[in-house]
Amino acid sequence: MCPPAHFRVTYSINPWMDPAKPVDLPLALAQWEDLRDRYRSLGHTVEVLPPRPDLPDMVYAANGATVVDGRVLGARFAHPERTGEAAAHLEWFRAHGYARVREPEHVNEGEGDFAVTASWLLAGRGFRSSPLSHPEAQEFFGRPVLGLDLVDPRYYHLDTALCVLDDTTDTEIMYYPGAFSPGSRAVLARLFPDAIIATEADASSLGLNAVSDGRHVVLPQAAAGLFGPLRERGYEPIAMDLSELLKGGGSVKCCTQELRDPGR
């Protein structure tokens, strides 16, 4: 995670960002600290990446890399405003003993567009990550990549429209069909017949921008419609208020990059 010490909305690269809307920085910091402390209280280790004053979107740490089985695929950002974040993440991994680190050839915005199940990588395209980043990720991780086409600009990253609930299975996800092309919707229905289907109301409070450890699902509090279905399936929803971070177009998941590195 990366604290929003320099978070601001001075440009707009997604429909959620309105530079005319002021950000309450102390509140953003307090909300972010709540999220960090919540992970720690659930027993998770949180590593903190130092924020840089020239990179106001750096708080959205999910976009900086994708880590699976300890292998790190760096990011390459679509927008020049965020380009500098990629090197900061790579530097962190190299300094922390990760040996298998790849600087990508094609545009990919890390876990913004890559989601991990037990055997697959689900991969978004359409707004940010290049379709060419999918075969690149498949080759690097040695996992089948399933490309999914995003069609609604409000859901510009896969992690705004889909969340893996248990990455020890290939079945447990929740998603919002309206964010996907008809063909991708059919693929999702075929592969995940038991998925939790989010309503437009829950998706539009970024309710799917959630992080699950297979038991606890940390998600924006406004997505109240998801709590019941999650509980029915045995998950414990944990509601967070990240209203200030929503002004940049992100919530829980965007602020969280998962280090899948057993045994590091």
Under the criterion CB under 6 A, does residue 31 sit at the interface with ligand ARG?
no
Residues 108-130 as b or e (16 or more Cβ within 10 Å = b): bbbbbbbbbbeebbbbbbbbbbb
What DSSP designation does 245 have?
H
Look up 157 and say whether it is catalytic: yes
CB of 8 to ligand ARG, least distance (A): 11
| Choice between 35 and 62, CB closer to ligand ARG | 62
* Cα–Cα distance measured from residue 74 to residue 90, given in angstroms and rounded to the nearest whole number: 6
* Cα–Cα distance measured from residue 48 to residue 67, given in angstroms and rounded to the nearest whole number: 16
**Angle made by CA atoms 194, 210, 5, in degrees to the nearest 5:** 170
Look up 254 and say whether it is catalytic: yes
> Which residue is catalytic, options 89, 134, 157, 216?
157
Which residues have C-beta within 8 Å of that of residue 263, sequence separation ≥ 6? 70
CB of 138 to ligand ARG, least distance (A): 21
* Cα–Cα distance measured from residue 32 to residue 195, given in angstroms and rounded to the nearest whole number: 29
Under the criterion CB under 6 A, does residue 159 sit at the interface with ligand ARG?
yes
| Choice between 24 and 139, CB closer to ligand ARG | 24
Under the criterion CB under 6 A, does residue 57 sit at the interface with ligand ARG?
yes
Residue 180: CB atoms within 10 Å:
24
Under the criterion CB under 6 A, does residue 254 sit at the interface with ligand ARG?
yes
CB of 214 to ligand ARG, least distance (A): 20
Among 216, 222, 249, 252, binds ligand ARG (CB under 6 A): 249
Which tokens in the block code for residue 45? 């280790």
Under the criterion CB under 6 A, does residue 248 sit at the interface with ligand ARG?
yes
Under the criterion CB under 6 A, does residue 67 sit at the interface with ligand ARG?
no
CB of 34 to ligand ARG, least distance (A): 18
Q: Which residues are catalytic?
A: 157, 254
Task: Give residues in contact with ligand ARG (CB under 6 A).
Answer: 13-14, 17, 57, 60, 62-63, 82, 112, 157, 159-160, 248-250, 254
